[in-house]
């Protein structure tokens, strides 16, 4: 049994439910010819990267199906070529990795954005789900970089609320464990910034950040 997928673009200017009807007609055609439909993915209306048939957008659909030898594919492709509603189509035979990928995607293991995929990887690696609970982006605090935020997170300070509760000397101790590069950091204002972040007072925080460079208050010497 081979698995195929056929992706096609439907004219976006069709009246009403015509786009879905067109997709449905190909589903029935495929199953009539002996293919078993695995999945139909409505990718929705998308902007085209270049105009096709003088149109700048199209409705994307993707039908995934199983068949012994794909004997019906020429018939379906011929029907699509004759169909004015279909702007483009592409039939692809899926290898085992592609089948697995599509399954994972359906089960939500692979996000539409690749970023989530990377974060999945990280999560599975360190295997400490506790740190993921209500984790805030500490790097939004002026003076905290990605590395410093990682140090803080591993030390158990993973939210603004916890950071605001810590004293500067405590933070300094955590940072000094990270190596000599962090010794120069001055976390004096971090708890105050975190307090604002925890309360959601972003505009005040931004105003405060403007006065700070590297987490240190400037203008004090003046």
Partner 1 sequence: MASRDDIKFLSNPNLGKDKKKYCRFKKFGIKHIDYKDPDFLLQFINPQGKLLPRRITGNSLKYQKKVAVAVKRARHLGLVPYVADLLK
Which residues of the shown chain bind partner 1 in the complex (CB under 8 A)? 7, 9, 43, 46, 48-50, 52, 58, 60, 62, 88, 90, 92, 95, 97-98, 100-101, 105, 112-114, 121, 179-180, 183
Nearer to partner 1, 32 or 95 (CB): 95
Shortest Cβ 100–partner 1 spacing (Å): 7
Shortest Cβ 134–partner 1 spacing (Å): 27
Alpha-carbon gap, residue 112 to 9, rounded angstroms: 19
Q: H or E stretch including 60?
A: strand 55-67
Q: H or E stretch including 64?
A: strand 55-67
- With a CB cutoff of 8 Å and minimum separation 6, the contacts of 127 are none
Shortest Cβ 101–partner 1 spacing (Å): 4
Shortest Cβ 166–partner 1 spacing (Å): 24
Nearer to partner 1, 165 or 178 (CB): 178
Nearer to partner 1, 62 or 79 (CB): 62
Shortest Cβ 161–partner 1 spacing (Å): 33
Q: Which of 151, 131, 133, 139 is nearest to 193 (CA)?
A: 139
Nearer to partner 1, 46 or 135 (CB): 46
Between CA 127 and CA 136, with CA 131 as vertex, the angle to 5 degrees is 140
Nearer to partner 1, 46 or 128 (CB): 46
Kindly write down the DSSP assignment for every residue of 1-44, as one continuous string. -EEEEEEEEE-TT--TTHHHHHHHHHHHHHHHTT-EEEEEEEEE
């Amino acid at each position: 049994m081979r698995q195929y997928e056929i992706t096609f673009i439907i004219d976006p200017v069709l009246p009403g439910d015509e786009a879905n009807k067109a997709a449905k007609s190909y589903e029935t055609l495929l199953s009539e010819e002996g293919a078993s439909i695995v999945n139909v993915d409505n990718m929705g209306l998308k902007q085209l990267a270049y105009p096709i048939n003088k149109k700048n957008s199209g409705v994307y659909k993707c039908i995934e199906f199983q068949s012994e030898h794909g004997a019906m594919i020429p018939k379906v492709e011929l029907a699509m070529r004759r169909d004015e509603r279909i702007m483009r189509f592409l039939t692809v035979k899926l290898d085992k990795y592609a089948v697995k990928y599509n399954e994972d995607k359906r089960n939500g293991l692979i996000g539409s954005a690749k970023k989530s995929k990377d974060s999945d990887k990280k999560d599975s690696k360190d295997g400490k789900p506790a740190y993921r609970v209500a984790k805030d982006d500490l790097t939004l605090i002026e003076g905290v970089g990605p590395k410093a935020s990682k140090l803080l997170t591993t030390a158990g300070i993973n939210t603004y609320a916890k950071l605001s509760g810590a004293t500067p000397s405590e933070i300094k101790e955590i940072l000094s464990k990270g190596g000599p590069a962090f010794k120069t950091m001055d976390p004096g204002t971090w708890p105050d910034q975190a307090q604002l972040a925890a309360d959601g007072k972003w505009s005040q925080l931004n105003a405060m950040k403007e006065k700070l460079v590297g987490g240190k208050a400037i203008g004090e010497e003046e």
